A = this chain, B = another copy of it.
């Protein structure tokens, strides 16, 4: 069939999402897709390149939406910097809003950043979008050095990835997964506070 490739991608997306990358075998994928094992290697080359293709298909709309939102915010702001909360929401909303529609696959997206699986894949699919947001944030917070801003964005990505992929630890009852909009609001508020934190020296505690 002409759409063997599509069927493989569809099955792989579902199974990687439900079970994770490592726990999903290519034999499960071909059984669900109704194709031959070697077809995966013909079309994609390896398991890693298959998941790369799956990620690409899902990441592209997220990244496009992020850039559209940022474009609009910057057009509205003209020469003035965009508010940090708005930049954060433009970056986070396209990812968080997809959790409800496809929670298992969102888990895989979130995991990518935490796993040593494929830093190259993350870099390839998200770096260019990240650069745009770095520039917007630097304009909003000119007092931060590039290095300090880089670290804060690193922390931001960690908080986002963990929120996308991990169930919160139940230190209290009532922390079940809420409405995506509510989590997004909490995350934006938290990260705005972190991004705007003063950079001065903090109190030291000697260890031991």
Residues facing B in A127-142 (CB within 8 A) are: 127, 130-131, 134
Quick one: which of A65, A146, A197 has the most chain B CB within 10 A?
A: A197
* Of B111, B148, B193, the contact of A195 (CB 8 Å cutoff): B193
The secondary structure that dominates the A interface is helix
- Given A197-B190, A202-B188 in contact, is the A168-B151 Cβ separation under 8 Å? yes
Nearest residue (CB) in B for A147 is B174
Nearest chain B CB to A127's CB is how many angstroms away?
7
Judging by beta carbons under 8 Å apart, are B162 and A83 in contact? no
**Complex Cα–Cα for A143 and B138 (A):** 31
Proximity string of chain A (194-205) to chain B, C-beta cutoff 8 Å, 1 when within and 0 when not: 111111111101
Q: Which of B158, B172, B187, B199 is in CB contact (< 8 Å) with A150?
A: B172
Whether A159 is near chain B, meaning CB under 8 Å from some CB there, is yes
Binding stretch for chain B, among A7-15, A32-40, A51-59, A86-94: A86-94
Determine the residue in chain B with the shortest Cβ distance to A73. B205
Q: Which of B115, B153, B168 contacts A115 (CB 8 A)?
A: B115
Contact of A116 among B158, B165, B188, B191 (CB under 8 A): B165
Find chain B residues with CB under 8 A from A172 CB: 134, 146-147, 149-150
Cα of A151 to Cα of B110 in the assembled complex, Å: 17
Decide: A115 and B111 in contact? CB cutoff 8 A: yes
Pairs of residues from A and B, 6 with the lowest C-beta to C-beta distance, nearest first: A114-B114, A158-B162, A193-B197, A194-B194, A155-B159, A190-B194
Q: Can you identify 15 A-B contacts, CB atoms within 8 angstroms?
A: A86-B205, A111-B114, A114-B161, A147-B174, A151-B175, A152-B190, A155-B159, A155-B186, A159-B194, A162-B162, A185-B202, A189-B198, A189-B199, A193-B197, A194-B194
